[in-house]
Amino acid sequence: MRVANPFHQCGVASLKLYQALEPETWGKLMGRVNGANFAALYGGTVALGYRGVTLPKGHTWESYVNFLLKTLSKEMRQVYLKKFQSSLTYWTKNGGALPEKVVRELEETDLQFENLGNPKNNRNYKQEHKVIRFKKYPDDVPIKNFRLVPSYKRMCITILKNDTSCQYMGFGQTKDELQKKKVAMKKWESFL
């Protein structure tokens, strides 16, 4: 018999049933799976369905990020905060390169940013890029290419996807993360 993963997108909405029908199994899941209770609480709502995520009443995306961070364990919260702080600093202090087409879209919005001109690095871009620095980190970005531009909404989606490496926000793995992965793989190879 094949049993489906209860934490898959389709099954997560039914996690509440484990609590009611098999409380002992639910207790084991809570002890073993990080975020199981969060998934059970919000699995049937739009909160976990990050594709159609809508802003809860009375929140800005920034306040929603803070709410979501408070629902995480201290260790997980620190992982996200480190990456989020890096993004905030990068886009409001240094500035980041975006395709010129995206910069033109941003100019048609109310977002305040400085156009710092062409990138001063040695990267070979396939299309013309401009470096921009936001005066205030955007809450949401009302443009077609929103995935290229930082925002608190992207942070929310990153948390909801449980994307601890923040790939959705454009981050790659750090040397520390790669080293941890290497150590874990080496450890498990010895068991096989």
Domain ranges of the chain: 1-45, 46-171
Residue 68, pLDDT score? 94
Alpha carbon distance 35, 178 (integer Å): 23
Q: Percent of the chain at pLDDT above 70?
A: 88
pTM higher than the cut 0.75 = no
Q: Is the pLDDT of residue 77 over 80?
A: yes
Phi, psi dihedral angles at 128 (to 5 degrees): -65, 130
Residue 92, pLDDT score? 95
Residue 67 CB coordination number (10 Å): 13
Structure tokens at 93: 């202090």
Alpha carbon distance 66, 156 (integer Å): 9
> What's the whole-number mean pLDDT along residues 181-188?
87
| 8-state DSSP, 56 | P
The amino acid at 139 = D
Residue 191, pLDDT score? 77
The amino acid at 164 = T
Residue 8, pLDDT score? 63
> What's the whole-number mean pLDDT along residues 167-176?
86
Residue 167, pLDDT score? 87
Per-residue pLDDT band for 58 (boundaries 50, 70, 90) equals very high
Residue 2, pLDDT score? 56
What residues pair up with 79 in beta bridges, in sequence order?
none
> What's the whole-number mean pLDDT along residues 22-32?
80
For residues 132 and 116, the answer to whether their CB atoms sit within 8 Å is yes
